[in-house]
Amino acid sequence: MASSVELHLMNQLLKLSGMKVIDYRIIENIGIFLSLKNTKKQTICPRCGKTTEFLLHQNNLITVRDLSFGEQQVYLKVNRRLLRCSHCSKKFSEDLEFVRERRKYTKRFVRKIIEEVLNSDILNVAKRNDISEQEIETMLKDLGEELVKQKPTNLNKLGIDEIAVVKGQKNYYVVLVDLEKRKVVGLIEKRTTEKITEYLEDWGTEVLSKIKEVSIDLWKSYKSIAEKLMPQAEIVADRFHVMKQVSDELDVARIKIKRETEKIKSKSKKEKILEGLKNSKYVLLKNEKDLNDPEKEKLKEVKKVAPILTEMHGLKEELRDIFETSKDWSEGLLKIADWLKDVSKYFPKSFGTIRRWIGEIIAYFDERTTQGVVEGINNKLKLIKRRAYGFRNFDNFRLRSFLTWDFTS
């Protein structure tokens, strides 16, 4: 028998609450075996929900793999007793917090394996840890089921965005983001009102009623969904999406001017303008303050040959400046109203959009909520999607995404 000093040490190393090491053995070439005893005196009956005394029905000794100790594999031997409820007589097997039912490894061992899998691949992790690939698949499935069922906690600012399933195609996954925690809290396979509503309703009013802000792009259905399910929340149009619409319109104008220039009869005039417009996309669309010196020179050349683009570029920069410098919503509103006076001729589309969304756009100035973090999140999601690892369908993609955020935050 092990001495009490040894057992005390073992307990401190093991750190499993409610469990006590009562004996141990080291078996060469296999590992360390710890015999454990459950010190909890009471449990909750899964049928009647009452706290019940343990009435032993049957012993059931199980051996589960735990985190290794140095080079040694560690196994826990524990009695998962079959119990009988003292109130309703239902028989049930004792709930051990650290190991799922019918599994041969502890939850913390599972987490360590999954963490390795997220940075490597299943085959290598299986070899390294002396477990089968199939066991790892099961671990992924178990943990994934838990994660997918989990509801977001303390969600104050929800961002709704989407990523293209295949670049250039019109299919999108909807990405729900906790903007404060910078974390994916939901992934929906199809961007339809029905699917999104169904997914959010699954969270329940408990979660939905606490959301203070919903940040969306300029898609009307998102707005209707937010109004219906989260009536208390302020809806904020993401300023980066507003700017994108303005930039897109500027780019359409640039392409149109280029095409019209091609029709000019005078060769010298035509070539001069085309030379000025060459490689102009980037310098026109990028924030002017971020341009380097050669890019600033290029912008000057563009402006020399294209007065319309000069106007439009100036207006785009002005709007960005309004977003950056306005101190509150009333200042923002006045400045945007002022800005709108000049734009209908150059930006007919954005003019209409901004007028329709003005309430949501100026809501930005209250908390300055944006989807700035979403870009990084979407890049990470694209990376996850590219790494196949046998995760080909949507459920697997979602599972892997949740695992990634669960393990990195």
- Which one-letter DSSP state was computed for residue 150? -
Smallest separation (angstroms) from Zn ion to the CB of 44: 9
**Nearest distance from C-beta of residue 18 to Zn ion, angstroms:** 21
User: 305: Cβ–Cβ under 8 A, 6 or more apart, which residues?
Assistant: 272, 273, 275, 276, 277
Site string for Zn ion, 301-340 (x = CB under 5 A): ----------------------------------------
Q: How far is the CB of 71 from Zn ion (least distance, A)?
A: 45
Tokens found for residue 88 = 């309703």
Part of the chain binding Zn ion (CB under 5 A), chosen from 42-50, 110-118, 197-205, 328-336: 42-50
Sort 34 into a burial class: Cβ within 10 Å, 0-12 / 13-18 / 19+.
buried
Stretch that binds Zn ion, among 44-52, 258-266, 337-345, 379-387 (CB under 5 A): 44-52
Nearer to Zn ion, 87 or 355 (CB): 87
- Least distance to Zn ion from the beta carbon of 185, Å? 36
User: For residue 130, which amino acid is it?
Assistant: D
How far is residue 318's CA from residue 336's CA, in Å, rounded to a whole number?
Answer: 9
Tell me the site size for Zn ion, rule CB under 5 A.
Answer: 7
Most distant pair of Cα atoms in the chain: their distance: 102
Q: Which of 66, 76, 69 is nearest to 23 (CA)?
A: 76
Q: How far is the CB of 41 from Zn ion (least distance, A)?
A: 16
Residue from the set 10, 19, 32, 45 that interacts with Zn ion by CB under 5 A: 45
Nearer to Zn ion, 89 or 132 (CB): 89
| Residue closer to Zn ion, measured from CB, 86 or 197 | 86
Is the Cβ of residue 95 or residue 295 nearer to Zn ion in the bound state?
A: 95
- Residues 262 to 281: which contact Zn ion by CB under 5 A? none
CB of 88 to Zn ion, least distance (A): 3
Provide the Cα torsion 208, 211, 217, 220; round to 10°: 50
Nearer residue to Zn ion within complex by CB, 88 or 383: 88
Q: Please, which residue, 62 or 82, has the CB nearer to Zn ion?
A: 82
Q: What are phi and psi of 110, to 5 degrees?
A: -60, -45
Q: Identify the bridge partners of residue 105 per DSSP, sorted by sequence position.
A: 65
Closest Cα partner for 322 from 336, 341, 311, 340?
A: 336
Q: Which is nearer to Zn ion, 87 or 296 (CB)?
A: 87
The C-alpha angle 400, 404, 405, rounded to 5 degrees, equals 125
Minimum Å gap between C-beta 87 and Zn ion is 4
Q: What is the token pair recorded at 89? A: 């007589």
Which residue, 88 or 123, has its beta carbon nearer to Zn ion? 88
Q: Which tokens is 330 given?
A: 């009333």
DSSP 197: H
Find tokens 């906790």 and name the residue. Answer: 178
Closest approach of Zn ion to the CB of residue 51, in Å? 10
User: 48-107: which residues touch Zn ion (CB under 5 A)?
Assistant: 48, 85, 87-88, 90
The Cα–Cα gap between 254 and 274 comes to 11
The smaller minimum CB distance to Zn ion, of residues 47 and 244, is found at 47
Shortest separation between residue 83's beta carbon and Zn ion, angstroms: 10
Would you count residue 403 as binding Zn ion (CB under 5 A)? no
What are 250's two structure tokens?
Answer: 């500027």
Tell me the three state secondary structure of residue 31.
strand
Residues forming contacts to Zn ion in the complex (CB under 5 A) are 45, 47-48, 85, 87-88, 90
